[in-house]
Amino acid sequence: MSLKTNSGGAAGGSQISEKCRAPSPKKGAFPRRGPMSYKDMFISPIQPVPERRDARRVVGALKAAGEQTRLRALALLTEGELAVGELAQALDQSQPRVSRHLRLLTEAGLVERAPEGAWVFYRLPRAYTTERHFAEALLGMLDPADPLLARDAERLSAVRAARDEMAAQYFERNAADWERVRALHLPEADIDSAILAAAGKGPFELMVDVGVGQGRMIQLFADRVRRAEGFDTSRQMLAIARASLDDLRAKAAVRFGDAYAPPIEAGAADLVTIHQVLHFLSDPGRAVTEAARMLKRGGRLVIVDFAPHHLEFLREEHAHRRLGFADAEIAEWCAAAGIPKMKATTLAPKKRDALTVKIWAGDKT
């Protein structure tokens, strides 16, 4: 399951293969990945009034943003969190130099630093702080057609495309041998029971599996759904899924599709599953938003992934971009997508150096 990693497989699918590939930006403009641009956020009448700061902090923010490379970095971060190396490539500057710029932006409160294993990600502040308000005001003044900004956007798109292609190649190499990869995680039987409990008894009129992989999630819910659809960006994984779901062809179908642009109409599903997909994605929050968009009011979203961990080899050898997710991060994405309450289930490993599996479930309001 490109995007999803493996059809239900614990670690990987193939959906990232083509599905996660960032769309090419229009020349001279940054591609919009979220539901609103920084300009939209700036002019929104519902934003809280920012707190006042003393003169020292205001001058610090002005100095931090008042340099071209740092302003360009802020513009790139409107596309979502980025690692230092990714920003360095997009800005076409050395990583040490970019790190110094990011340190100044962090000290001024204009960006947040999120260490994760051997990597460090940067993003605009999640909370609508005074500093974020200031950053959005500055960014709202920029012309995306500026040649310098356009080149940055093009380089970032190329960086993401190269990264996603590496993940896609990994998925394709492992598509026929996924059991070996799944052995890295907890027993699937234990996880499956918890997934079914989190989803509820149903019955569900339409289930949608994001990143269908081998089709395992559809098989798991076969007795609880009247119809099931899965999508993936890996043609090879789709072929495997079709073969494994042959006995369910009367109610199940799979097709090519992207987690960032699902081939399912909005408000159509009463159950959407995202099984071991998010840790492969460059923009997992966006995938959550799109998954929620497919749900009817009252429909349930079930996300299965890993708790935060430090198994760096999964990133280096297995194309994992994120080393797990915290409850608060998942809850924030879901709340923004119209699912305000998520119940978390924790499945702790029974052996050393294994991964803790998390299941988050909630209903769309």
Task: Convert the pLDDT of each residue in 69-79 to its tens digit.
Answer: 999 999 999 88
Query: Is the predicted pLDDT of residue 35 greater than 80, yes or no?
Result: no
pLDDT of residue 237: 82
Report pTM.
Answer: 0.66
- Residue 37 CA to residue 180 CA, distance in Å, equals 42
pLDDT of residue 25: 39
pLDDT of residue 188: 84
Q: Between these two residues, 177 and 162, which has the higher pLDDT value?
A: 162
